[in-house]
């Protein structure tokens, strides 16, 4: 992101923090939902600390953490019940949650189109 000549330093810092929160959230989603890795509670704790720096950040992270955990539980239940195409289901959930994160936190330089990290 190119710094704006007219944006105060504080605003640049808030944008950078928001972009970091979004990037970390999407990384967690990619790993837990997309890759089937177990949840890392310390990662969520670090994310909450980072999100505490702006209005509504903690609430948004808490809501998305809850959503990710519920999606993960439902995904595992469907896989155990014989889901014929778990990879397709995982990919659909990742796409859905990415869109929610982008809506909640706003656009961050087209991050939703960036390749998954993992």
pLDDT higher than 90, residue 74: yes
Q: Which residue shows structure tokens 């990384």? A: 27
pTM metric for this prediction: 0.76
In this predicted model, what pLDDT tens digit does every residue of 39-67 receive, in sequence order? 778 888 999 998 887 788 899 899 999 99
For position 33, what pLDDT does the model report?
93
Categorize the per-residue pLDDT at 8 as very low, low, confident or very high, splitting at 50, 70 and 90. low
pLDDT higher than 70, residue 112: no
Q: Report residue 81 as tokens.
A: 């019940």
Distance, in Å, from the CA atom of 82 to the CA atom of 95, rounded to the nearest integer, reads 22
**Number of Cβ atoms within 10 Å of the Cβ of 104:** 17
Categorize the per-residue pLDDT at 75 as very low, low, confident or very high, splitting at 50, 70 and 90. very high
Q: Report residue 31 as tokens.
A: 């790993």
């Amino acid at each position: 992101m190119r710094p704006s000549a007219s944006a105060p330093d504080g605003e640049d810092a808030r944008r950078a923090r928001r972009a970091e929160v979004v990037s970390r959230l999407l990384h967690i989603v990619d790993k837990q939902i997309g890759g089937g890795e177990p949840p890392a509670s310390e990662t969520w704790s670090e994310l909450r600390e980072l999100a505490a720096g702006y209005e509504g950040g903690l609430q948004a992270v808490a809501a998305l953490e809850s959503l990710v955990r519920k999606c993960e539980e439902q995904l595992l239940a469907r896989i155990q019940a014989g889901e014929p195409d778990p990879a397709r289901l995982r990919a659909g959930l990742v796409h859905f949650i990415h869109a929610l994160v982008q809506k909640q936190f706003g656009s961050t330089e087209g991050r939703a189109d960036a390749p998954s990290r993992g």
